[in-house]
Amino acid sequence: MSKSNKLWGGRFEKDTATSMTSLSKSTHFDWRLAPFDLLQTDVHVQALNRAKLIDDSETKQIRKAIQDLFKKASSGDLFPNEMDEDVHTAIERMIIEIVGEIGGKIRAGRSRNDQVVTDLKLFLRGSARLISQQLVSLCEEINVQATKYFDQPSPGFTHLQHAQPVTLGHELAKHSQAFIRDIERFTDWDIRVDNCPLGAGALAGSALVTDLMWVANQLGFSKPSENSIDAVSDRDFVAEYLFICSVIGVHLSRFAEEIILLSSTEFGYVKLDDQYSTGSSIMPQKKNPDAAELARGKSGRLIGNLTGLLVTLKGLPFAYNRDLQEDKEPVFDSHDTLMLLLPAFTGMVKTLSFDTHKLNENASKGHSLATEIADFLVKKNVPFNQAHEISGNCVKLAESKKVEVHELTSQDLASVFKELTNDVMEVLTVKASLLARSSYSGTSPVNVKAQIGRMNEKISVLNKWANHNPVPEIS
Ligand code: ARG
């Protein structure tokens, strides 16, 4: 790096060591922020003009250079050179190369410390929306499947043991509920991100650019940050973003685990489409759930990105420290990971098929209707603890007879407890059990339909948010 290309150097006598230059350099990853750096530079130049620190003709020339660079950057034709330390250095150099000496004026009133955090906020506000758009598509596909199977009986599990019958629609809809919460997390996060760090300068604020409300608004923020030291130190919004990505990863992973498990020969409830499965290089019969396994695997990486950043932040005193340069790679990796994973995951979900026959057959297995006997007795005024005991005795009898509890005869049941009259047989079916679970969040088919309806309304509101990015383009 020659002294002339650095944004600093006046007080140094020796050149930077080559190994130090390599360590310091970040253009190989932060170049991705170039469009945002150009955008905020464009606003900054106008702010300097409003403060009468750059005249109209200079402003015009610099803004024209920025627009040209932006066009090139958008079409992927703009690259930093070997000597550029970071994206900010490169952009300043390029502007000076186009407009000459007056380009040096753009550094007045700002610092890379407030620049870099502004770039990252601008990037992340768009990223959160792109990921949310993908989550909207995923929720829509899950809900199509959930609607199709709104009344399909399925075994319901707790502790991975048969518990009570549920509808398959309910099982599927639980996943869109989780992903909707993730989009809501982004909308909530966006409120806290909505303050512009520009004007914080290195740490103390700017003596030259003071109309920070105007600057903030030009960049799509509703206000400037409150405290210049906090503004350049704060990476909470990065940690929170990585946390949300991690939770999305965890949700994908748990869904994936169910698909992997339930598609195994032992369960055989769900089948993956050929398009979203892979084969084995040695075993010709194999069809593996790799899309689900990669989702499960990549969740570890998303959590790793969050953990790494939190450890980086933990010991840092406030204001800018160079450690903060380490915040960008995990962000880009989490963004890229989800943008790669989500379309494939959505495709996999869309093309899942279910063995409805097997699901019907197994829904009542494992004495999963035992609770119906207890509920039946409660309605006959038997205290639940006694009803529970009696139903347990019925299960014991069924086990001794090697049948399911609902396969006992009415005589068998009456022999356990006399109030188990003939009409208990009516509640001892999967259909009756499902219809009975009609509490607001319950699994009954009617409730599942209503639940999906409410979700779809929420999704369309969230979709509007996801499709509106407050960050402007250069005009
Ligand atoms: N490249 C740095 C980063 O990514 C920003 C520059 C701030 N550097 C400095 N020496 N103050 O965080």
Cα(472) to centroid(ligand 1), Å: 24
374-393 pLDDT tens trace = 999 999 999 999 999 999 99
CA distance linking residue 92 with residue 89, whole number of Å: 5
Using CB atoms within 10 Å of the CB of residue 439, give its burial: 0 to 12 exposed, 13 to 18 middle, 19+ buried.
exposed
Question: d(Cα 377, Cα 370) in Å, to the nearest integer?
Answer: 11
CA–centroid distance, 39 to ligand 1, in Å, is 18
Reported as a single tens digit per residue, the pLDDT across 93-105 is 999 999 999 999 9
DSSP for 260-287, please give it: HHHTSTTT--EE--GGG-B--SS-TT--
State residue 1's pLDDT score: 40
Q: How much distance in Å is there from the Cα of 322 to the middle of ligand 1?
A: 6
Q: Which DSSP symbol is given to 353?
A: E
With a cut of 60, say whether residue 211 has pLDDT above it: yes
**Portion of the chain with pLDDT greater than 70, in percent:** 99
* Atom of ligand 1 at shortest range from CA of 328: 4
**What tens digit of pLDDT does each residue of 185-205 get?**
999 999 999 999 999 999 999
Which atom of ligand 1 is found nearest the CA of 320?
11
pLDDT digits 0-9 by tens, 383-433: 999 999 999 999 999 999 999 999 999 999 999 999 999 999 999 999 999
Shortest-distance atom of ligand 1 to CA 324:
12
Residue nearest to atom 12 of ligand 1 (CA): 325
Taking 70 as the threshold, does the pLDDT of residue 454 lie above it?
Answer: yes
Ligand 1 center to 113 CA (angstroms): 6
What pLDDT does residue 285 have?
Answer: 85
**pLDDT confidence of residue 12:** 87
Q: Whose CA is nearest to atom 3 of ligand 1?
A: 325
Mean pLDDT, the chain, rounded, equals: 96
- Note the pLDDT of residue 475: 66
pLDDT in tens, 2-36: 445 788 888 888 989 999 999 999 999 999 999 99
- Confidence label for 281 from pLDDT (cuts 50, 70 and 90): confident
pLDDT in tens, 119-148: 999 999 999 999 999 999 999 999 999 999
- Residue of 20, 91, 113 best suited for mutating to test ligand 1, as the one with most atoms within 8 Å of CB: 113
- Residues 6 or more apart from 357 whose CB is under 8 A from it? none
Q: What was the pLDDT predicted at 3?
A: 47
pLDDT in tens, 171-183: 999 999 999 999 9
Whole-prediction pTM: 0.95
Residue whose CA lies nearest to ligand 1 atom number 4: 325
CA–centroid distance, residue 112 to ligand 1 (Å): 6
Mutating to test ligand 1, I would choose from 7, 89, 116, 316 the residue with most ligand atoms within 8 A of its C-beta, which is 116
pLDDT of 340-374, one tens digit each?
999 999 999 999 999 999 999 999 999 999 999 99
Q: What is the DSSP string of 446-468?
A: HHHHHHHHHHHHHHHHHHHHHT-
The residues that are catalytic are 159, 280
- In this prediction, residue 4 carries a pLDDT of 53
Which residues form ligand 1's pocket by a CB distance below 6 Å?
26, 30, 86, 112-113, 116, 320, 322, 324-325
Say if residue 259's pLDDT is above 70.
yes
Pocket test for ligand 1, best of 32, 203, 325, 332 (most atoms within 8 A of CB): 325
Largest pairwise CA distance in the chain: 100
Cα of 120 vs centre of ligand 1, distance in Å, is 12
The whole-number pLDDT of residue 59 equals 98
